[in-house]
Structure 1
């Protein structure tokens, strides 16, 4: 499962209402306390310690919501429509179709429709972002060597 925060989310997203901001910030503060063992307390008083894996997800969700970001939780195996996939990558649907047809991103066909697994889409996005960062770094190095860019430390 992946937690996605940001503005262009492909699936149903949740965003904190303005009236909830104060409570979310309080929850965030409590979750950041060292050595705390958060619990859920039912209306009948029953207490359940939150498992570490759930605690880590909860911290990420609350942190993003405290920053005013919308949140979607997507199972890794979730299949997205081409429109949802394009929105996730922040590209046009025709451009996404081109990537699919070139084999850049795997997909399956359901009837006459293409579906893209979220896991594959996320992997492509991470690789694309890493390449962009690498090219930008090379551009900075070339500019520095040419004396066009000076980096002040």
Structure 2
């Protein structure tokens, strides 16, 4: 299994503006064509060349454009890619020691290669989804408690 390289595209001011405009068009197109089996035909303006893209790729492109429009850099990592603990920590925006604690607690699946830990990108994404769900549930409970106590106005 190969190690992932995390190349990041950092948007310039011009890229942010272009991404914002493109995002409006892409999301509007996807909303008008909700069929998940639908492929997307893209015409390149300079030479009228047609590209046929899977809808999933265009949905991923919309996500990339949204991040770029917000001025954030973007990295694309295949789900099966193995990450070093530092790469995984960087993607979670946590320290490496904190990530090691998550690995040792069984929160994120990993394997040992010699004495080095490797984290599959899909394991990291599963952890993020579970963590997001826990946070939403905690926020919902807090909101309900606040309302129950009459503090919510």
Q: Say yes or no: TM over 0.5.
A: yes
TM-score range, shorter chain: 0.7 to 0.9
TM-score by length of 1: 0.73
Q: Give 1:71's match in structure 2, choosing from 69, 74, 87.
A: 74
Q: Do the aligned partners of residues 108 and 42 (structure 1) sit closer, same or farther apart at CA in structure 2, a change above 3 Å counting? A: farther
Maintained 8 Å contact 2:19/2:68: yes
Maintained 8 Å contact 1:14/1:72: yes
Q: For residues 25 and 133 of structure 1, what CA distance do their matches in structure 2 show?
A: 28
Q: Which residue of structure 1 lines up, in the alignment, with residue 8 of structure 2?
A: 13
CA RMSD of aligned residues (A): 2.8
Any unmatched runs of 5+ in structure 2? Answer: 34-39
Q: How does 1:20-59 map to 2 (within 5 A)?
A: 20-32=15-27, 34=29, 38-41=41-44, 46-59=49-62
Q: How does 1:1-153 map to 2 (within 5 A)?
A: 11-32=6-27, 34=29, 38-41=41-44, 46-147=49-150, 149-150=151-152, 152=153
1:84-137 deviations in Å (ceiling 9; x for gaps): 222222322222212211222111111211011111111111111211221222
Q: For residues 13 and 110 of structure 2, what CA distance do their matches in structure 1 show?
A: 39
Report the 3-state secondary structure (helix = DSSP H, G, I; strand = E; otherwise coil) of the residue aligned with 2:108.
coil
TM-score by length of 2: 0.73
Q: For residues 108 and 128 of structure 1, what CA distance do their matches in structure 2 show?
A: 21
Maintained 8 Å contact 1:40/1:50: no
Report the 3-state secondary structure (helix = DSSP H, G, I; strand = E; otherwise coil) of the residue aligned with 2:74.
strand
Any unmatched runs of 5+ in structure 1? Answer: 1-9
Q: How many residues align?
A: 141
